[in-house]
Amino acid sequence: MKLKNTFLLFIAIVLISHGLGAQNTGGQWPGYRGYYASGVLDHANLPGSWDINKGTNIKWKVKIPGLGLSSPVIWNEQLFITTAISEKDKEGLKVGIYGNVESVDDESEHEWKVLCINKYTGQTIWERTSCKGVPQIKRHSKSSHANSSIATDGQYVVAFFGSEGLFCYDMHGELIWTKNFGKLKSVFFAAESAEWEFASSPIIHKGILIIQCDVMEKSFVAAFDITNGKEIWKKKRDEYPGWCTPNIYTDNEQTRVVVNGYKHRGAYDFESGKEIWKMSGGGDIPIPTPIIGGELIYFNSAHGKSSPILAVKKSAVGDISLKKEETSNEYIAWSKARGGAYMQSMLLYQDYLYNFRWNGTVYCLNAITGEELYKEKLGKASSFTASPVVSDNKIYVAEDNGRVYVVQAGPEFKLLATNYLRDICMVTPAITEGIIYFRTSKYLIAISKDE
C-alpha cells in the first residue's frame, strides 16, 4: 500500500484503530520502531514465550561485534543494524536507574559499521565500514557511538552516526553519498562537559530524508533528496540538546514533519520547511518520538520538573503553548501534567495509549480522552530503556537486565509471560512476519514459533 494511501485510513477516529499496524504490509519495518515509529505489526503470529537456554522458539542467535543501540530495521529479507567497534572501548553498558551524568573516558579509534543480515538465517549479506577515527563526542555509560537506527525505503539505506556523518547506501551496500555536519554537541545542557552522543534516527518519506539535530549549538531540522543528498530545506531551531526522532503526519492532505522538543516542540511543512506550529514546555531532556493516530499527535517527555503527556490536534497552527493551569486549548485536546516517560516512546494501539516509564510503571490511557484506565508495575528494582512494540494484542517490552514482559493489550492489565534474553537489552525490538528481533549488548536474537 502506498504511503499516501495509508493516511486515508485515519479519516474518522471513531471508525478506525489508533495504531498504525494496518498500514504495515509485507512485514517491512523501515525505520526506528517500524512505519512512522508506531511499533505495530499485526498478523505476525509471534510466540508469547521462549527459552534461550533450551532453544525453544529461538530461530537464530548471532554475535554482533562492537557496541550499538540502534534498533533492527527490515526490508524484505534484509535486516540492518549499526555498530561502533573499538578494541579499547570495552566498558560496555551500565544499566539501572542512577544520576551519573559523566561521559565514558575513551579516546580510542572506532570503526562505524553498517551490517546487512539475512532476517531468516542470521547470516551477514554485506558489511560496510562507514568511517574510522576517534569519536568527536564521548558517550554516556548507557549510550553507544551507534545509537541512531537505519532508515530505508527499499531502495536506499541511510545510517546517521552524528558527528561522524550521514551515509547513504543502496540495498547492495554501494555508497551513494555522504554528508558531514561537523561536531554535533549532544551534551547535557546544564553541563556541557557531559557528552552523551547523538541518537536521533533519520526517517524517509516519499523520497525525502528528514533529520532532526537538537544539539548544544546550531540545532536544526532538515530535508534532503534521498537520491543524491541535495539539501531541500534546513531550518534553525532554538533548542536544548535532545535525542528525539522526528515523525510524519498529514492534515487535510498537507504533509508535516513533527518533532518533539523542550523549547520548540512543533511541526514543519514537509515541502518547504515552513513552521506550522510550536509549543514549549515538558521534560528538558526530550527523548521520546511523537506518535500519530487518528486526528491527534501524542507527545511525552520527563526530565527535570516537568513530565507531561500531550494530545495535539493535527489542525494546530501558531504558538499553541498551554497557559498556566490549562490542560487543553483550541489545539490541544487533552494533557496530563505528570506521568510522561523519560526514555520510552508511547505505544498507540486499538484506541488505547500505553506509556511505559523508566522504572517499569505502565499506564494505559483512553487515547481520545486521556482517561487513565490502569497503572501497574513491571519488574522490581531494574530499569527500562527500550520502547514497547505490539503484535496481535501482545505488547512486548524489554527490561534493561534482559527480561522481556508480554502484556495483553486492552483496558485491563494482564501479564501474559516473562521471558529472558540472558543479556543486557536496551534496544527497541523489531517485528516481521513470524519473527521478533531483540538486540542485546552482544547478540541479535530472532524469536519465532518452532516449526
pLDDT digits (tens, 9 = 90+) for 141-162: 999 999 999 999 999 999 999 9
Instruction: Give dist(CA 257, CA 8) in Å, integer.
Output: 17
Residue 451 in this model has a pLDDT that exceeds 70: yes
**Mean pLDDT throughout 362-374?**
97
CA 342 to chain centroid, in Å, comes to 13
pLDDT at 376: 96
**What is the per-residue pLDDT across 242-294, written as a single tens digit (0 to 9) for each?**
999 999 999 999 999 999 999 999 999 999 999 999 999 889 999 999 999 99
The HSE-up count of residue 429 (CA atoms within 13 Å, CB side) is: 30
Which architecture characterizes domain 3-447 according to CATH? 7 Propeller (2.130)
Residue 423 in this model has a pLDDT that exceeds 80: yes
pLDDT at 26: 66
pLDDT at 169: 98
Question: Model confidence at 382, in pLDDT bands (50, 70, 90)?
Answer: confident
* Amino acid in position 200: S
Residue ranges of E strands in 340-414: 347-349, 352-356, 361-366, 372-377, 389-391, 394-398, 403-408
Residue 357, CA distances (Å) to 65, 74, 78, 238 in order = 30, 27, 32, 27
**What is the per-residue pLDDT across 298-331, written as a single tens digit (0 to 9) for each?**
999 999 888 999 999 999 999 999 998 899 999 9
pLDDT at 305: 87
Instruction: Give dist(CA 407, CA 354) in Å, integer.
Output: 11
Strands 318-319 and 275-279: parallel
pLDDT at 290: 98
**What is the per-residue pLDDT across 4-33, written as a single tens digit (0 to 9) for each?**
333 332 222 222 233 333 344 568 999 999
Contact in structure between 352 and 17 (CB atoms under 8 Å) = no
Closest CA to 432 of 3, 7, 1, 30: 30
pLDDT at 92: 79
387: helix, strand or coil: coil
User: Range with the lowest mean pLDDT among 24-28, 55-59, 387-391?
Assistant: 24-28
Average pLDDT, the chain: 92
User: Range with the lowest mean pLDDT among 89-103, 374-388, 397-411?
Assistant: 89-103
pLDDT at 402: 95
Residue 130 in this model has a pLDDT that exceeds 80: yes
Give the pTM.
0.93
Residue 409 in this model has a pLDDT that exceeds 60: yes
**Mean pLDDT throughout 109-128?**
98
Contact in structure between 221 and 233 (CB atoms under 8 Å) = no
pLDDT at 7: 31
